Amino acid sequence: MFPDETSRSSALYQEARRFMPGGNTRTTVFLKPYPIYAAKGEGCRVWDVDGIQRIDCINNFTAAIHGHAHPVLVREAMDQLRLGTAFGMPTQSEIELAKLLTERVASVEQLRFSNSGTEAVMNAIKAARAFTSRPVIAKCEGSYHGTYDFAEVSMDSTAANWGNGAPRSVPYSKGTPQGVLDDVVVIPFNDVDGAAEILRARGRDLAAILVDPMPNRAGLMLATPEYLSMLREVADEIGALLIFDEVISFRLGQSGAQGLWGVDADITCFGKIIGGGFPVGATGGRAEIMQVFDPTEGKPAVPQGGTFSANPMTMRCGRAAMEMLDEAAFAHLDNLGERARAGIDRAFRDTGIEGQTTGYASLLKIHFTAAPITSYRTAQPDAQAASRLARLNRELLNRGVLMASYGLMALSTPMTVDDIDDVVAAVAASLKSMTE
């Protein structure tokens, strides 16, 4: 049972605390009173260091779309390992992954790789600034785009600092310079008129509008088609670039969220699933914009390197992972996602606890509220909802299911309908225990 002070995880955590602040290297995986340490994964299951097996609905925060140790990816990785992991030279593998991605996403004519979604977003912002010769970006309140200073602004604004009206630029990390806050305009998600008004007012300064079409941390609700169309229209009108952060939403289909909505971005950020389990980021867009990175005539407008950028381990496994994500794989994932969301929503109704899921395709998020969730503000859990979510997480851990502590579940291709039914049954039993 979790927590268990006599467990190996607990002992490891005590040791970790000596060498890392809070025993931790990644805030997202921190758990009180101690995080559960993974020993191995296979398919959709993970075994912890105490030998306990669980169905993995975290999947490394959406990255592991094929689960763990997929035989095809293991073979690709082993083959490349024997040939060398990274060189001070390009490899053919980067061309192949770049080709595949540009073929899938119509708005992406060229792209460049990096090692994380954070870098993908940072490079997109830098490209937009260089291309437009403007300093300011706009982003949605509550949306997470990694840890570049500008992208972090207003990530976790709260009722205490958002006031009654339009969002403000509030720091996420303590010590964020005022200059950063001044160069980020925060807009409300899914509020067509409110956001358009703010964007038009700052139009002349804006290099880019950065948007995640299904922002996970902000509530995992879909952008409305009207909202995305407005962003496209206003960006064109004011001469700013539209950046889609598809680091997570590339899970929604072969051409990502933009394929589903039929709205083209000027620049798209990728990460997570395109690395086949290895660290990755990519920034792509119209060739005309991507020229800011072109070194053929000397120092480019935006120089970009990265010791491990486009390393062949990532590139090979990324390509293999993407090739396995064909129409049938997406249909399978969509089916699992629908089943999971419907089952969990049913469990809420059956137990009478107020709650619901948001999400689409292979992603879902659990909210302990019955009120409609349309924006970051409506998705913010109150104290009771937050404590119920923490309790659900603990109940699920003890029923063999891994869920991200903030309620996210990301499904994987090795999962079967039976696995989903097990997850739903675990949620239903957990909710029931919460009524007793």
Ligand X SMILES: Cc1ncc(COP(=O)(O)O)c(C=O)c1O
Cβ closest to ligand X, residue 171 vs residue 271: 271
When CB distances to ligand X are compared, the closest residue is 117
> Which residue type occupies 7?
S
Q: Return d(Cα 283, Cα 277) in angstroms, integer.
A: 18
Binding residue for ligand X, selected from 41, 67, 146, 188, defined by CB under 6 A: 146
324, 66 Cβ separation under 8 angstroms:
yes
* Candidate ranges 141-149, 171-179, 233-241, 332-340; the one touching ligand X (CB under 6 A): 141-149
Cβ closest to ligand X, residue 9 vs residue 314: 314
268, 258 Cβ separation under 8 angstroms:
yes
Question: At closest approach, how far in Å is the CB of 406 from ligand X?
Answer: 11
Q: Return d(Cα 130, Cα 289) in angstroms, integer.
A: 9
* Candidate ranges 76-84, 117-125, 126-134, 233-241; the one touching ligand X (CB under 6 A): 117-125
Question: At closest approach, how far in Å is the CB of 432 from ligand X?
Answer: 32
Terminal-to-terminal C-alpha distance of the chain:
19
Residue 195 binds ligand X (CB under 6 A): no
Question: At closest approach, how far in Å is the CB of 223 from ligand X?
Answer: 13
Residue 406 binds ligand X (CB under 6 A): no
Binding residue for ligand X, selected from 35, 117, 188, 285, defined by CB under 6 A: 117
Q: Select from 406, 428, 412, 421 the least CA-distant residue to 29.
A: 406
Question: At closest approach, how far in Å is the CB of 276 from ligand X?
Answer: 14
Written in H, E and C, the secondary structure of 292-308 is: HHCCCCCCCCCCCCCCC
If DSSP codes are grouped into helix, strand and coil, which group holds residue 41? strand
In this structure, the strands spanning 408-410 and 363-367 are antiparallel
Residue 309 binds ligand X (CB under 6 A): no
Residue 153 binds ligand X (CB under 6 A): no
Residue 434, Cβ density class (10 Å: 0-12 exposed, 13-18 middle, ≥19 buried): middle
Residue 114 binds ligand X (CB under 6 A): no
Residue 190 binds ligand X (CB under 6 A): no
Q: Return d(Cα 399, Cα 55) in angstroms, integer.
A: 10
In the sheet with 38-42, reading across from the earlier edge strand, the strands are: 38-42, 45-48, 53-56, 401-402
Task: Tell me which residues in 239-278 interact with ligand X (CB under 6 A).
Answer: 245, 247-248, 271
Residue 407 binds ligand X (CB under 6 A): no
Q: Return d(Cα 186, Cα 199) in angstroms, integer.
A: 9
Q: What is the DSSP letter of 241?
A: E
Binding residue for ligand X, selected from 34, 144, 162, 376, defined by CB under 6 A: 144
* Candidate ranges 98-106, 116-124, 169-177, 425-433; the one touching ligand X (CB under 6 A): 116-124
Residue 319 binds ligand X (CB under 6 A): no
The β-bridge partners of 357 are 366
Binding residue for ligand X, selected from 10, 118, 157, 380, defined by CB under 6 A: 118
Residue 26, Cβ density class (10 Å: 0-12 exposed, 13-18 middle, ≥19 buried): exposed
Phi, psi angles (nearest 5°) of residue 68:
-120, 145
* Candidate ranges 140-148, 327-335, 384-392, 402-410; the one touching ligand X (CB under 6 A): 140-148
Q: Which residues contact 4 (CB under 8 A, 6 or more apart)?
A: 10, 50
Cβ closest to ligand X, residue 93 vs residue 118: 118
Cβ closest to ligand X, residue 67 vs residue 117: 117
Binding residue for ligand X, selected from 73, 121, 198, 235, defined by CB under 6 A: 121
Question: At closest approach, how far in Å is the CB of 201 from ligand X?
Answer: 26
The β-bridge partners of 367 are 356
Cβ closest to ligand X, residue 409 vs residue 424: 409
Cβ closest to ligand X, residue 252 vs residue 431: 252
Cβ closest to ligand X, residue 118 vs residue 362: 118
The β-bridge partners of 410 are 363
Residue 61 binds ligand X (CB under 6 A): yes
Cβ closest to ligand X, residue 116 vs residue 351: 116
DSSP code per residue over 165-202:
SS-----SSTT--HHHHHTEEEE-TT-HHHHHHHHHHT
Count interface residues toward ligand X (CB under 6 A). 14
Q: Return d(Cα 413, Cα 29) in angstroms, integer.
A: 23
Q: Return d(Cα 51, Cα 29) in angstroms, integer.
A: 19
Cβ closest to ligand X, residue 73 vs residue 273: 273
Cβ closest to ligand X, residue 144 vs residue 376: 144
Binding residue for ligand X, selected from 10, 216, 356, 412, defined by CB under 6 A: 216
Binding-site ranges for ligand X (CB under 6 A): 61, 116-118, 121, 144-146, 212, 216, 245, 247-248, 271
